Structure 1
Amino acid sequence: MGLQDYAYIFIRHWRSLLLGLLAGLLVGVGASIWLGYLPRYAATATIAVGGDVATVDQNTSYINLADEFASTYADLATRAPVLDAVIAELGLDTSPASLKNAISTSIVQDTHLIEITVSHSDPRLAADIANGIARQLATLPTLRVRNFVVPVEAAAVPTQLDPTWLLLTLIVGALGVLLVGGVIFLREFMRDAVYSGASLEREAGMPVLVEIHTPKQGWRRATPGQPWRTQEVGAWWALAQHCRRQLEANGVSANGVPHTIAVAAPDENDASAVVAANLAAGWAERGERVVLLNTDARSHLNEWFGIEADAEETHQLRLHPTSVPNLHTAVWDDTTSLDEVLHALREHADVVILASPSLLHSPVSVETVRHAHGALLAVTSGTSRLSATIEARDVLDLLDIDCWGAVVARA
């Protein structure tokens, strides 16, 4: 698959990916609450290790000693003797082990400064605990140096939540998207689907004549009174001209019947009906008389054009006018010979567009395309399988029907 195919899959399944993100965010918030990260405030107190160097005659050995002891005091900040003293001083109802989980220390790079950070659901208590630890470290028995540990900056009462919960939530949300996305892409990869005209040309070597959007897609609303009409009107005119040139280039002789073009799909979907209806309309708008002959009883063509079957006239071919000049529709069932129908239409049409059912799932489709002078394959991106599309083209080759190319409909 190419980059365009991945982009199409992403756009096609954006709702599922969004749900995965929302689910991940909800799980992240729940985990933050369960782990105690939300609501939680962080307060930081800073101490300096090294003492009052003025009292030691600028002896560099004490400075080196401070470097060595900085990590020791950072570790002492979470030890039981210090925490017991803080608990007793503040009257906390907790144990040193529980309090230790809320404390983190770090040495500021290239300094003797130690930052003591305390996270707690009560912002004032977080600041009191951080300052209490700093005081306890400053009063510990140390070397023969006055004020070896000096509080530098007292912890202020925090007003904003500790961002740890947000980081955890975002990580879990991203994991949710990755999980859902992985399932989607794995499923799409195993489905062997056609995603775009470029992928069909690349994988099957089949020319793609037009890429269109079906009328059902999002903001591309159907034309009032013409629910089958797509927005690519100019593309259909161009496709009709292309088909006419193919007929002329191949020297196709009508032999007493109108020029007949079959539109078939490799699978069961509405793509062939949409393509057939729009191609017929585009051809009729060029000034030729066109009959859209529906051979698929399960398609929506009859509904789209307002054709109601009459029980007494089921076996009689009737032409139904449409809102498009020069375009009529008709319904064919297999009780009447298609040869007879096409000969009967020679006085009413220059071109007949056959809307065929699935080429691989209906014997009627084989009978339909057998009478065509050329054929188009209607492929639905994301639904039609690549292997089925190639097989449908091979069926047309076996029937000695010239397949002019494919029309890819984005559903």
Structure 2
Amino acid sequence: MELRDYLHILRKNWLVIVALTLVGIGAAAAYSLTRTPLYESQSSVFVSTQTSTGSVSELTQGSNFSLDRVPTYVLVATSPLVLDPVIDQLGLDTTATELAESISVSSPLSSAIINISVEDSDPQLAADIANATASQLADAVEEIETTSGAATSPVKLTVIRAGIPGTAPVSPNVPLNLVVGALFGIVLGVAVAILRTVLDTKIRSPRDVTALTERPIIGVIPFDPKATERPLILDADPHGARAESFRALRTNLQFIEFDGGQTFVVTSSIPSEGKSTTAVNLAIALADAGKRVALIDTDLRKPKVAEYLGIEGAVGLTDVLIGRVKVQDVMGPWGRRPLYVLPAGKVPPNPSELLGSSQMKALLEEFGKSFDVVLCDAPPLLPVTDAAVLSKLTAGAIIVAATGKTSTGQLAGALDALDTVGSKVAGLVMTMAPTRGPDSYLYGYGYGYGGYGQDSK
């Protein structure tokens, strides 16, 4: 993915990221509030070596000896030899091992100073433990370093800084915890956003289509929440963005040249992707441009063309194919345009056989000679084979894919169904594309698209 893809993911999932960030901050705040405040106190001792003459060489040797011994004394500071007397002195109800967990002993590099830090919920007790540990460490070192026969130890530990009670707790560090919680929430939110995008198989942009197939996208129809109430958008709102998108589809379709002429099947992968409204409005747009158009409702299972155009559909294509009526008796003009409509008629028991029959082939050939463009509104490709059978008799298929509804697998299945029968794909039309929101994309029509919604069949 490119940088703009990640920016799009962040924009689309900003609510998730913000929510998880707040959760992270809340968890950090809850953790901080439930922790017992700890106060720190620190005492320091200086390690020196006593000499007899005070000469430079002895002082140098003593200094080197002290530096060599400091790491050892750091370890001795948390040993029972030091901490058991501290416990007895302060009357603590603990063990040397438990007490050592609250004591931190360190020494700066190449330094003869040992720092003893103690953390405790009682600031005064922390100071008392730090001071007692420093004092007992000095006694323990003197005992260890005093050799047999010697009166005193050559090493002396001097307390140079006594521990004092802390005025503010050092733990929990509320600001730091909140920052860590916020960062964790942001990272988790971004990870969830990316995971959602990776697992999302819905078609949401032209890039999803172009990644799946090389067939051209010849139209993008924006989402209309009132599509079921006004399927004929070119009549209901002729100057709107959705009407203009059908005109753009018309223009693109006119540039497509096939050996079989301008006879197309309009279909989709699954139901409710807007293929019938696309077929009807495209037919109207072509007729508005002066084209002589034949619109045939070849969806012999759930016909919609007659309903959308407000015409009688009881008798139609089915009756023509079985020879009950002549085509001129049931096919007539619609409106004041050169648009002629042949409704589906009664639903037959054998739609696929009728659509693949020689009568249907002869009818389409006749229409191809009499009309500039022939559009056949066919059923979806995945549930039934009608559209695939019919597409063999036409120049190509126009596949409608609903943005945010159709999955890449469903569209791939529809394309495979056409490839199996050797049919051509004239192009793809993306429907239900939102004009606002993070999934909106400019596509050259002056409106945004990319999301999802509901459309008519």
| TM-score interval for Structure 1 and Structure 2 normalised by the shorter chain | 0.5 to 0.7
SS in 2 for 1:358: coil
Q: Matches of 1:22 and 1:119 in 2, distance apart?
A: 31
Q: Which residue among 30, 35, 38 is the counterpart of 1:38?
A: 35
Q: C-alpha offsets along residues 142-176 of structure 1, whole Å, 9 cap, x if unaligned?
A: 34455445337756332563367558757875896
The residue type equivalent to 2:347 in the other structure is T
Q: C-alpha offsets along residues 368-400 of structure 1, whole Å, 9 cap, x if unaligned?
A: 545644322234567655555344334334545
Task: Name the CA shift for 1:399/1:106 in 2 (closer, same or farther; >3 Å).
Answer: same
The residue type equivalent to 2:133 in the other structure is L
> In the TM superposition, what is the alpha-carbon distance from 1:351 to its structure 2 partner?
5.2
Task: Name the CA shift for 1:186/1:402 in 2 (closer, same or farther; >3 Å).
Answer: closer
The corresponding residue for 2:299 is 295
Q: Matches of 1:263 and 1:21 in 2, distance apart?
A: 47
Q: C-alpha offsets along residues 288-328 of structure 1, whole Å, 9 cap, x if unaligned?
A: 687695939779x89xx995999xx6624699999xx9999
The corresponding residue for 2:417 is 395
The 5 A counterparts of 1:31-180 are 32=31, 38-41=35-38, 43=40, 45=42, 47-51=44-48, 59-80=59-80, 82-83=82-83, 94-109=94-109, 111-112=111-112, 116=116, 118=118, 122=121, 125=122, 127-139=123-135, 140=137, 141=139, 142-143=141-142, 144-151=154-161, 154=164, 156-159=166-169, 161-162=172-173, 169=181
The corresponding residue for 1:250 is 258
The corresponding residue for 1:266 is 269
Q: Which residue among 206, 222, 225 is the counterpart of 2:215?
A: 206
Structure 2, unpaired ranges of 5+: 143-153, 234-239, 317-330, 349-353, 432-449, 453-457
Contact 1:264 1:377 in 2 (8 A): yes
The residue type equivalent to 1:240 in the other structure is R
> In the TM superposition, what is the alpha-carbon distance from 1:403 to its structure 2 partner?
0.6
The corresponding residue for 1:315 is 314
Contact 2:107 2:113 in 1 (8 A): yes
Q: Matches of 1:107 and 1:319 in 2, distance apart?
A: 100
> In the TM superposition, what is the alpha-carbon distance from 1:359 to its structure 2 partner?
0.8
Q: Which residue among 427, 430, 436 is the counterpart of 1:405?
A: 427
Q: C-alpha offsets along residues 160-197 of structure 1, whole Å, 9 cap, x if unaligned?
A: 63367558757875896698679757856xx7x76754
Q: Percent identity?
A: 20
Contact 2:42 2:115 in 1 (8 A): yes
Q: Over aligned residue pairs, what C-alpha RMSD do you find?
A: 5.8
Q: Matches of 2:284 and 2:85 in 1, distance apart?
A: 88
> In the TM superposition, what is the alpha-carbon distance from 1:110 to its structure 2 partner?
5.5
Contact 2:17 2:185 in 1 (8 A): no
Task: Name the CA shift for 1:223/1:205 in 2 (closer, same or farther; >3 Å).
Answer: closer
Contact 1:215 1:227 in 2 (8 A): no
SS in 2 for 1:50: strand
Contact 2:25 2:185 in 1 (8 A): yes
The residue type equivalent to 1:134 in the other structure is A
Using the TM superposition, name which of 173-182 and 355-364 deviates more.
Answer: 173-182
Q: Matches of 1:41 and 1:329 in 2, distance apart?
A: 84
1:241 matched to 2:241 = no
When normalised by structure 1's length, the TM-score is 0.61
Using the TM superposition, name which of 111-120 and 326-335 deviates more.
Answer: 326-335
Q: Larger Rg: 1 or 2?
A: 2
The residue type equivalent to 2:265 in the other structure is A
The corresponding residue for 2:320 is none
> In the TM superposition, what is the alpha-carbon distance from 1:235 to its structure 2 partner?
5.2
Q: Matches of 1:296 and 1:92 in 2, distance apart?
A: 91
Structure 1, unpaired ranges of 5+: 217-221, 254-258
Q: Matches of 2:62 and 2:2 in 1, distance apart?
A: 65
The residue type equivalent to 1:162 in the other structure is N
Q: How many residues align?
A: 380
The corresponding residue for 1:361 is 383
Contact 1:49 1:69 in 2 (8 A): no
Q: C-alpha offsets along residues 115-142 of structure 1, whole Å, 9 cap, x if unaligned?
A: 555555x4xx2x4354334312321213
When normalised by structure 2's length, the TM-score is 0.56
SS in 1 for 2:427: strand
> In the TM superposition, what is the alpha-carbon distance from 1:241 to its structure 2 partner?
1.0
Q: Matches of 2:268 and 2:346 in 1, distance apart?
A: 19
> In the TM superposition, what is the alpha-carbon distance from 1:362 to its structure 2 partner?
1.7
SS in 2 for 1:206: coil
Q: C-alpha offsets along residues 17-48 of structure 1, whole Å, 9 cap, x if unaligned?
A: 77777777777777x57xx9835446352635
Task: Name the CA shift for 1:408/1:225 in 2 (closer, same or farther; >3 Å).
Answer: closer
